[in-house]
Amino acid sequence: MAVNMKGKDLIEIQHLSLEEIYQIFDLSNSLKLKQLSGEPHRLLSGKTLGMIFAKPSTRTRVSFEVGIYQLGGIGMYFGPNDLQLRRGETIADTARVLSRYLDGIMIRTFSHQDVIDLAKYASIPVINGLTDLHHPCQVLADLFTILEKKKRLSGLKLSYVGDGNNMAHSLLQGCTKVGMDISIATPKGYEPLKEVVNEALENAKYSGTKVLITNDPSEAVKDADIVYTDVWASMGQEAEAEERKKKFMPYQVNSDLVKYAKDDYLFMHCLPAHRGEEVTDEVADSSNSVIFDEAENRLHVQKAIMALVI
């Protein structure tokens, strides 16, 4: 049964029901087939998406801008210096003004609270393109990719190795929502936030899944269906990069570590990859790697999200 998502914000995966997640996947698949066959699908003809970027981007900007265009709408890019936000205008006022002009807003920024505030005061849907706390569009694209490759989600195990960052947080929410076990291995002091882990544990009670937070990468990767990693220093953490490199080197996803996973494991990375740091070329370019499939699926999944909420 279809769920009406019109006007809904996408701030984090925790706010989506299982039915809404699978509705996004169903429409993603349909739109992907239409795109590949050259069939027009102008579901948002005449609509305008405002795209606010406080952080630079490759995949997020291109996939949203191309996506709204393919849906028949227009994307407007706002860089860090294009709006009055940094000159004293409140997020509340910006949200109210943009709501009079636009049909939807996508924002990629540092503070998660900015997205919450924008959604609170906007009368149009707000989509979180990334914050320091969550990356929901990426993880929905990741889960859709796993579903394509493995033909199921429930009962699979995803192992994430690296920093307990926004990717770890959204994967915790997403995997436990759809019935996947998740294990996360980080160096001591870099674990995901306790409140997000607790949310995942609550989800796991309903979905019957397991959640493991450990400092041992081999324990995390044991019998994994999917091995996932991300950069060790995210945007805004450049000053810590050298220190992090020393602490995270034992967490590199390489040919020795993936031996603990199942033979047909999928390797995933949200990109950009710092090859030779969090992952070796041998793994990133292996037949198990689906990193460019998941990058492509950002386009199809975000088109589905926009079509459903705008």
Domain ranges, ordered by start, for the chain: 13-134+297-309, 138-294
Pick the range with the lowest mean pLDDT from 4-18, 80-94, 126-140. Answer: 80-94
**Region 24-41: what's the mean pLDDT?**
98
Active site residue 42: no
Tell which CATH classification among 3.40.50.970, 3.40.50.1370, 3.40.50.1950, 3.40.109.10 matches the domain 138-294: 3.40.50.1370
What distance in Å separates the CA atoms of residue 127 and residue 145, rounded to the nearest whole number? Answer: 20
What distance in Å separates the CA atoms of residue 301 and residue 146, rounded to the nearest whole number? Answer: 13
Q: Could you report the per-residue pLDDT of 260-295, keeping only the tens digit for each?
A: 999 999 999 999 999 999 999 999 999 999 999 999
**Region 229-237: what's the mean pLDDT?**
85
The pLDDT score that the predictor gives to residue 233 is: 87
Active site residue 108: yes
The pLDDT score that the predictor gives to residue 187 is: 98
Selecting among 108, 112, 269, 300, the annotated active-site residue is 108
Confidence of residue 1 (pLDDT cuts 50, 70, 90): low
Q: Which of 145, 137, 169 is nearest to 60 (CA)?
A: 137
**Region 168-193: what's the mean pLDDT?**
98
The pLDDT score that the predictor gives to residue 306 is: 98
Active site residue 134: no
Selecting among 14, 138, 173, 302, the annotated active-site residue is 138
Count Cα neighbours of 159 within 13 Å in the Cβ-side half-sphere. 29
144, containing H or E segment: helix 136-150
The pLDDT score that the predictor gives to residue 242 is: 87
| Beta partners for residue 218, in sequence order | none
Selecting among 135, 169, 244, 300, the annotated active-site residue is 135
Mean pLDDT score across all residues of the chain: 96
List strands edge to edge, sheet with 48-53.
Answer: 74-78, 48-53, 104-108, 126-130
* Class of 13-134+297-309 in CATH: alpha beta
51, containing H or E segment: strand 48-53
Q: Would the pLDDT of 240 be above 80?
A: yes
Active site residue 135: yes
Active site residue 113: no
The pLDDT score that the predictor gives to residue 156 is: 98
Selecting among 61, 225, 252, 270, the annotated active-site residue is 270
Task: State what percent of residues in the chain have pLDDT above 70.
Answer: 99
What distance in Å separates the CA atoms of residue 249 and residue 252, rounded to the nearest whole number? Answer: 5
Q: Could you report the per-residue pLDDT of 58-110, keeping only the tens digit for each?
A: 999 999 999 999 999 999 999 988 887 767 889 999 999 999 999 999 999 99
Selecting among 230, 244, 252, 269, the annotated active-site residue is 230
Active site residue 59: no
Q: Could you report the per-residue pLDDT of 145-161, keeping only the tens digit for each?
A: 999 999 999 999 999 99
Is the model more confident about 133 or about 233?
Answer: 133
